[in-house]
Amino acid sequence: MKIGFDAKRFFHNKTGLGNYSRSLVKLLSDAYPDNDYFLFNPKKSREFSINNYSSKVIEVNPNNYLFKKINSLWRLFFISNTVKNYNIEIYHGLSGELPIGLSDKIKKIVTIHDLIFIRYPKLYNFFDRKIYYWKFKYAAKKADLIIAISEQTKKDIVEFLMINPNKIKVIYQGCQDVFKKKYTLEEKNQVIKKYGLPAKFILNVGTIEERKNLFSVVKSIKDIDIPLVIIGKKTSYYNEIHQYIIDYKMENRVIHLSELDNIELAIIYQLATIFVYPSIFEGFGIPIIEALYSKTPVITSNSGVFPEAGGPHSIYINPTNIDELKEKIILLLNNENLRNEVTDKGFEFVQKFNDERVANSINSLYLEIFKNDDNS
């Protein structure tokens, strides 16, 4: 099969959508080398390349001077002709979008990660919301099949975009191999020394924004003698948290880190005593999967997608109940046997998100849609 991908996020996004795109293309091209994989990239990237990918993975850029200058127009409208010229049989939009004008002969799949901009409109400006809604609605309508990364996202697609649930397949995403590797004591000590990490600490990972609910974590440990390590990009939401930290003289117990490479991040996951993730809402919650693979016990929210990601043995709380979060943190800190049980069973559960299963599920979907085309 000749499979094309919307590769903007692959080449230009360092975090969630970019990681999903890069991991998926790597998995598929390694597991199914008989296919050809074309990455339609609107502009060259200084950050990411396909150097470590199979020769079956090919990058395609605009070849017209005008489209190089106005690459967003190429991606949305004029890419359709380029896709046709490469005889693409399946086109996969990896981040909720499909270009306008793709031939009806090309089968179309789109992955939708979340519809947070609809659920929490105040987190987005008016024009962004309108543009996102139009793009997602168009892609969902035009796609032959939609991949939702969780049951929660599938429910949202049905509710907010009014799409027939039979058109939607749930295929969970995994996490990068770097989080599955065991690191040596020497490697761990290097990271401990570099960032001044304590022997025991609670970890929180993610962009520091209101929806992620970091403030509840900080408040919950105010009277607990345990350091908190925060890894994530600061937003204006952090200012209020920082003032709280100053007011309650917690500066020496709260460590903020950013701009880590993935190996350092993976090592810190493995060093953490507890991973705390009381987010209000996510499309999936990859940091939970990363923590489970790292054999670190997880405390997370008890609704939405979080039980899907955390499994039956993680610890769940009402994310707005700070006293409950505090109680569960103390419970795990004081009970090593419970921490070990949660860790071991969480590691067993997270194997359902392994690479082989993800790759097989996606390729089966490609074969299904390809076969349907042959039979039509």
pLDDT of residue 227: 97
* pLDDT over threshold 80, residue 372: no
Fold of 177-352: Rossmann fold (3.40.50)
Q: Kindly list the domain boundaries of the chain, sorted by start residue.
A: 2-174+355-375, 177-352
Q: In angstroms, rounded to a whole number, what is the distance separating the alpha carbons of residues 206 and 287?
A: 8
Helices H / strands E in the chain, number of each: 17, 13
3-state secondary structure of 277: strand
Backbone angles phi, psi at 70, to 5 degrees: -115, 65
CA distances from 246 to 213, 240, 250, 251, 252 (A): 18, 10, 6, 6, 10
In tens, the pLDDT along 267-320 reads: 999 999 999 999 999 988 899 999 999 999 999 999 989 999 999 999 999 999
Same topology, domains 2-174+355-375 and 177-352? Answer is: yes
Name the packing angle between helices 286-293 and 262-271 (round to 10°): 60
Predicted confidence band at 120 (pLDDT cuts at 50, 70, 90)? confident
- Could you tell me the end-to-end alpha-carbon distance of the chain, in angstroms, rounded to an integer? 17
Considering only the top CATH level, what class is 2-174+355-375?
alpha beta
Output the pTM of the full model: 0.88
Backbone angles phi, psi at 112, to 5 degrees: -115, 120
Q: Are 165 and 187 in contact (CB under 8 A)?
A: no
Check the CA dihedral 70-72-76-81 and report its sign. positive
Instruction: Choose among 95, 99, 100, 98: nearest CA to 115.
Output: 95
The runs of H, that is alpha helices, within 63-142 are 65-69, 71-73, 79-85, 116-119, 126-142
Q: What is the mean pLDDT of residues 33-48?
A: 92
pLDDT of residue 373: 61
Q: What is the mean pLDDT of residues 319-325?
A: 96
pLDDT of residue 47: 86
Q: What is the mean pLDDT of residues 177-201?
A: 96
Print burial letters for 141-152: b (CB count within 10 Å at least 16), e (below 16): eebbbbbbbbeb
3-state secondary structure of 312: coil
